[in-house]
């Protein structure tokens, strides 16, 4: 009787041992003479089948997960290469720019300072980053007003200098002052407003403008016709006397060569040549 029970139980034990060691295909022999042992074998096989099904599902899930990880890793690598490529482009543009490019946070602290800014203001990037930009580039008498504007900017990203191109007087590290043109834009990032500025030295342009103003004042009060032309001899400005003598207004002669415009059928050739010589070179004739 003991042998009658022991043999099927040993069979169940062997199958259980094999399954425990990873052989999920093993099954207990069914059709036992003793009903309880047969039912036990059937239940055991059902359990083994479920374990096998779950193991197969886990294997499929792992394989799918690995595939997705590989795909995502490739996407991230591609994205990283794209970012690196864009960074390289931005870096090249930044280094090639003759305009000073700066960026500040909502507290006016410098977070970016390109090589042109170093050259223009005399501060290295290491000296500038982390400092208040107004202490670096603004004359002392203009700093309080600039900081008042920063209070509004830190809340809304808006201000009198944002989104517009303005001229102002800047100051270098050595204390010398010069004229610059400034354009500012803002953006919001991780709960804080930032401002990006492009600054151009317009000292030469300002000098030219002042010279033209002085020339205009002198020319406007003379009875002689005066034409200011570009390097190609095309009219850029005429005084009232020119209009009074020739009958042509500035909008009628602008961009044209006065010598050809005033040449008529009976005009003396030497006079035409004389006018042409006057409108070459310096561009001022009378």
Within 172-281, residue ranges assigned H as helices are: 203-220, 240-246, 250-253, 258-261, 269-278
Determine contact, residues 188/199, Cβ cutoff 8 Å: no
Residue with tokens 């002052």: 177
Question: What confidence tens digit (pLDDT) does each residue in 75-115 have?
Answer: 777 777 766 666 666 666 666 678 899 999 999 999 999 99
pLDDT at residue number 281: 43
pLDDT at 183 over 60: yes
pTM of the full structure: 0.52
Question: What confidence tens digit (pLDDT) does each residue in 257-268 have?
Answer: 877 766 666 556
**Per-residue pLDDT band at 231 (split at 50, 70, 90):** confident
pLDDT at residue number 174: 95
pLDDT at residue number 249: 87
Query: What does the mean pLDDT of the chain come to?
Result: 78
pLDDT at 194 over 80: yes
Task: Tell me the torsion sign for CA atoms 50, 51, 53, 58.
Answer: positive
Q: Which tops the pLDDT comparison, 178 or 52?
A: 178
Average confidence (pLDDT) over 38-66: 73
Percentage of the chain surpassing pLDDT 70? 67
Determine contact, residues 151/167, Cβ cutoff 8 Å: no
pLDDT at residue number 2: 47
């Amino acid at each position: 009787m003991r042998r009658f029970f022991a043999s099927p139980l040993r069979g169940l034990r062997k199958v259980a041992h094999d399954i425990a060691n990873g052989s999920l295909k093993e099954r207990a022999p069914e059709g036992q003479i003793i009903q309880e042992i047969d039912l036990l074998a059937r239940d055991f096989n059902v359990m083994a089948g479920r374990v096998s099904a779950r193991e197969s599902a886990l294997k499929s899930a792992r394989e799918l997960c690995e595939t997705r990880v590989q795909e995502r890793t490739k996407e991230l690598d591609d994205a990283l290469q794209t970012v690196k490529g864009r960074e390289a482009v931005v870096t090249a543009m930044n280094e090639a720019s003759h305009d000073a490019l700066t960026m500040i946070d909502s507290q006016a602290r410098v977070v970016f300072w390109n090589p042109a800014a170093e050259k223009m203001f005399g501060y290295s990037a290491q000296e500038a980053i982390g400092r208040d930009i107004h202490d670096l580039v603004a004359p002392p008498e203009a700093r309080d007003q600039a900081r008042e504007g920063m209070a509004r900017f830190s809340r809304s990203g808006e201000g009198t200098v944002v989104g517009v191109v303005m001229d102002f007087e800047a100051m270098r590290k050595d204390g010398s002052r010069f004229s610059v043109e400034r354009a500012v834009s803002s953006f919001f990032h991780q709960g804080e407003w930032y401002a990006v500025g492009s600054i151009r030295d317009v000292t030469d342009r300002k000098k030219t403008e002042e010279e033209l103003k002085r020339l205009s004042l002198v020319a406007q009060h003379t009875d002689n016709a005066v034409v200011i032309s570009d390097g190609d001899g095309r009219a850029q400005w005429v005084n009232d006397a020119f209009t009074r003598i020739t009958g042509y207004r500035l909008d009628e002669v602008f961009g044209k060569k006065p010598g050809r415009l005033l040449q008529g059928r009976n005009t003396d050739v030497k006079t035409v040549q004389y006018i042409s010589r006057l409108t070459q070179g310096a561009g001022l004739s009378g």
